[in-house]
Chain A
């Protein structure tokens, strides 16, 4: 049980005629947001300090002589706030016109177009025609190092980027130089944010197209991207992300806010490792090895042959991957146990050090570089090999029993791997030389192409959703292995990831009490097994 917290006194105020009750210390902007009333703003960001300088969030507070910046003005009992009064709207229109006085209006070639706050706000409330007839100030572009490109003319001087580097990354590499109309964001040194491990976030928090990603530059328009909630698979932190997909290719990864895991942020290490999800060299069909040659075959043929072959009692061993989903790993554990039990090995890469985000310390690029090692450990799988995620499979070289490989590409093994095995079943997404000797190769989707869960290093179960369409013949490993289990009389064949998860809750006591549907997009803490004294 969590500690008892006394009921908090609430402050009641009226925003646009609607009564709102919020805890004391809340700002008007947050209070309005809680009712779905989003007051336009640039400089305020929930993960940063609020300098109240963009002047866009000014609202009318009855009794105050001037409009008040809602991002820093705290609520008071009985306060009456108007966010859409003539005065507040007129002021917003005025401020927006100021923003456009020097803005290049290059939306047609701007990457931010479609997800640009200046565009949104001006379309919603701006003047139909700007009145500025004056020549515009020109700054031009600047390479900020790393993946960041700066278009000075689009900048609205909200200073979110400067504050992120100062307060959150605590690596002050950006500043405002000059003053007044000449002020512009700049780097201190030639290499700018190069090598700063969280610098990519400044592109995300830039409300306009001033800071853009070089990698994503001119790749896709924002309105053509589908956003799929997912979990970053590049370390055991499990940052919540969105896959931004166009033409069945992941174009970029963006952090998805989750205050319990990654706040609003993610590291550049994770952000930049998505190209593999777009690999086109895929295992597209089940392969059946006959007379020394692997031939594409129907799933039905392959599975019935496989089931027949498994009836013969033999020792069994498996190699799993901590990059597989919890459902896949549990299914593998169950199959191995059902066929007499045996070691399941896994290899897991590790970095030399953690890279924490100083301003948000619960977020770090973890040493453990796999997303689901926790599950493998809970399932009593054995970690072998080195910190590079290779080696440790020497014992399998002459293995003569049943061998199952799930998800591990076995990049360190040669084409002779598994030659001695009586039955070698390989479940993978990409072709691998080490699968040459496999009797049965089953194509499975990557995590980006299917539903499932990972359990991160902090013991948080987190769901991911399919953002890409995988090869037509690929089936999740839990489904393929589920066929084996149902044939062995161990439960019904799961038809959905939810059913596979339900099956997993029966195997892993830590998952008991969790329901797939209620994990939602924020994740749920593992239910630690209750230790009974003396047992």
Chain B
């Protein structure tokens, strides 16, 4: 039970078994009360399952925060051909590492969630798309899937219910863009991982051209608990619009970084100073990226009194995303930090859309120049305008994600940029 860093303020629903190797096995998971939600769900009608999830208010944990029950209800009610459920385990956003732990420690929790989800949307087949680099996690999950097949939880006529549901674990090849839901489907189909133009939306034309729903690992892992305990039980945590618990992946300049499962609406400052133990000696807060690299950066002032739920973070000019909190103290070179994130997007852009293909690289090159003291003030205007042209003009939102930290950091940390520019000017003059 030695999972690194736990805290008494945590509410461990999903992460309850983390650190205990027994949770990886079918027997161990059953001993913890697993596989009780599945028979219960199979005893309910599909609409009842969806209603329960709607009642819980569970919102997609992959970043967009779309209500899961409503997403499920988009699937056609009268089934004409195959339906698919995809589980997005291509967790690759810088700063995010919660799904990996869910896969490594509680694979059966996810499998159970997948089966309930598949039942609810009448899917015959579930594809769990694992990030290519998740070697250990994929192995653990694959072993668990085999076990569940042997025990009759997956496959033909599961638990004697007459329903056939298969699960395939699919390993990606290491492209961040394959975490975009339509690129993920292309990747499973054996094509280049390029996002598709929407509409049509996956619920109408998805994987192999069939109605498909894509859910995040954390979302599906929450499902068994909601089915077991009811939607209102889930609402005991969090707020009206953002109920439930959430895994916060904390990284950066704090004493105890790690995964913490906390109720939504948890105060950011309490997370930093209490749960994570605050900063190193003599250091103080400079900036926080609250939801993974693709959301706008927050200054120390923005953080004061910020509540970590979907609405609370939006109020402070950023987004909760997948709750990957990157904390930076006053030793941070913001420009370098932003440049590294833009580099990531430049490297991971699929290259379809022009604004993203050319823009990410261009942003990165300007930032490198500024970082090395060869920037000008006009570069800042160029950066902002390029960012503007990259926002809302492409098929997927990777381009927007690359532009967000640039624009927000120039807005909030302009002095950091100017300091580097002026330092360069001085060196040039001398």
* Interface, chain A (partner B; CB < 8 A): 51-56, 58, 65-67, 69, 72, 91, 94-95, 97-99, 101-102, 131-135, 137, 156-157, 176, 178-183
Q: Does B317 contact A (CB under 8 A)?
A: no
Chain B residues whose CB sits within 8 angstroms of the CB of A137 once the complex forms: 361
Contact A55 to B358, CB < 8 A, known contacts A72-B197, A134-B366, A157-B351: no
Within 8 Å by CB of A66, from B352, B357, B392, lies B392
Contacts of B395 in A (CB 8 A): 52-53
The verdict on A180 contacting B351 (CB below 8 Å), with A67-B393, A91-B389, A95-B389 known, is yes
In addition to A94-B385, A101-B362, 5 A-B residue pairs with Cβ atoms within 8 Å of each other are A66-B392, A95-B389, A132-B362, A176-B351, A181-B349
Given contacts A55-B394, A72-B197, A91-B389, contact A157 B362 (CB under 8 A): no
Find out whether the CB atom of A181 lies under 8 angstroms from the CB atom of B346.
Answer: yes
Per-residue CB contact flags for chain B residues 324-349 toward chain A (1 = under 8 Å, else 0) read: 00000000000000000000001111
Instruction: Collect the chain A residues with CB atoms within 8 Å of residue B358's CB.
Output: 98-99, 101-102, 181
Point out the residues of chain B lying under 8 angstroms from A97, CB to CB.
Answer: 389
Residues of A close to B382: CB separation below 8 A: 131
| CB 8 Å contact bits of B167-178 with A (1 = contact, 0 = none) | 000000001010
Give chain B interface residues in 213-267, CB to chain A under 8 Å: none
User: Does any Cβ of A come within 8 Å of B353's Cβ?
Assistant: yes
Smallest CB separation, A140 vs chain B (Å): 18
Q: Which of B350-397 contact A (CB under 8 A)?
A: 350-362, 365-366, 369, 382, 385-386, 388-389, 392-395
Interchain CA distance A324-B355 in the complex, whole Å: 53
Complex Cα distance, B361 from A56, in Å, reads 19
Instruction: Look across to chain B and name the residue whose beta carbon is closest to the beta carbon of A74.
Output: B199
Return the 9 tightest CB-CB contacts between A and B, nearest first. Answer: A94-B389, A183-B351, A180-B349, A98-B358, A181-B361, A134-B365, A53-B352, A66-B392, A52-B197
Evaluate contact between A95 and B357: CB separation under 8 angstroms: no
Q: Is B79 an interface residue (CB 8 A)?
A: no
Flag whether B192 is at the interface (Cβ < 8 A).
Answer: yes
Bound complex: CA A185 to CA B394 (Å): 21
- Using a CB–CB distance below 8 Å, which chain B residues touch chain A? 175, 177, 192, 197, 346-362, 365-366, 369, 382, 385-386, 388-389, 392-395
* Interchain CA distance A157-B349 in the complex, whole Å: 14
Known contacts: A94-B389, A157-B357. The answer to whether A181 contacts B351 by CB under 8 A is yes
Hey, which chain A residues are within 8 Å of B177, CB to CB?
179
26 contacts between A and B (CB under 8 A): A51-B197, A52-B197, A53-B352, A53-B354, A53-B395, A54-B353, A55-B354, A55-B355, A55-B394, A94-B385, A95-B355, A95-B393, A98-B354, A98-B357, A98-B362, A137-B361, A157-B352, A176-B192, A179-B177, A179-B349, A179-B350, A180-B348, A180-B361, A181-B361, A182-B351, A183-B350
Give the most central of B349, B353, B354, B366: most A CB within 10 Å. Answer: B354
Q: Chain A residues near B393 (CB, 8 Å)?
A: 55, 58, 66-67, 91, 94-95
Q: Closest approach, in angstroms, between the C-beta of B237 and any C-beta of chain A? A: 32
Given the known A-B contacts A55-B393, A67-B392, A180-B346, are A94 and B351 also in contact in the complex, defined by CB atoms under 8 Å?
Answer: no
- The complex places the Cα of A157 from the Cα of B357 at a distance, in Å, of 10
Contact B359 A98, beta carbon cutoff 8 Å: yes
- Find chain B residues with CB under 8 A from A94 CB: 355, 385-386, 388-389, 393
For A157, the chain B residues whose CB sits under 8 A away are 351-352, 354, 357
A52 to B194 alpha-carbon distance, docked (Å): 12
In the complex formed, the residue of B with least CB distance to A102 is B358
Q: List, in ascending order, chain B residues with CB within 8 A of A99's CB.
A: 354, 358
Most chain B beta-carbon neighbours within 10 Å: one of A54, A65, A102, A181: A181
A58 and B390 CA atoms in complex are apart in Å by 13
Q: Kindly provide the distance from the CB of B397 to the nearest chain A CB, expressed in whole angstroms.
A: 11
B351 engages A98 (CB within 8 Å): no
User: Residues of B contacting A72 with CB < 8 Å?
Assistant: 197
Minimum distance in angstroms from A130 CB to a CB of chain B: 11
Chain A residue contacts of B197, Cβ below 8 A: 51-52, 69, 72
| B356 CB contacts on chain A under 8 angstroms | 180
B residues in contact with A182, CB < 8 Å: 351
A180 with B365, Cβ < 8 A, contacts A69-B197, A95-B389, A98-B389 known:
no
- In the assembled complex, the CB of A139 is this many whole angstroms from the nearest CB of chain B, namely 13
Q: How far is the CA of A199 from the CA of B360 in the complex (A)?
A: 33
With A55-B393, A72-B197, A95-B393 as known contacts, state yes or no: A181 contacts B360, CB within 8 Å. Answer: yes
How far does the alpha carbon of A180 sit from the alpha carbon of B392 in the complex, in Å? 18
- CA–CA, A58 to B361, complex, Å? 22
Give the CA-CA distance A156 to B346 in the complex, in Å.
17
Nearest-neighbor residue (CB-CB) of A91 within chain B: B393
Once bound together, how far apart are the Cα atoms of A234 and B177, in whole Å? 48
B353 / chain A contacts, CB cutoff of 8 Å: 53-55
Q: What chain B residues lie within 8 Å of A131 (beta carbons)?
A: 382
How many angstroms between the C-alpha atoms of A374 and B163 in the bound complex? 64
Known: A58-B393, A66-B392, A95-B393. A180 touches B357 (CB 8 A): yes
A179/B175 in contact, CB under 8 A: yes
Measured CB to CB, the closest approach of chain B to A253, in angstroms, equals 32
How long is the Cα–Cα vector from A135 to B369 in the complex, in angstroms? 11
CB distance from A76 to the nearest CB of B (A): 12
Roughly how many angstroms separate A333 CA and B355 CA in the complex, as a whole number? Answer: 64
Complex-state Cα separation, A180 to B356, whole angstroms? 8
- Report the minimum CB–CB distance from B79 to chain A (whole Å): 26
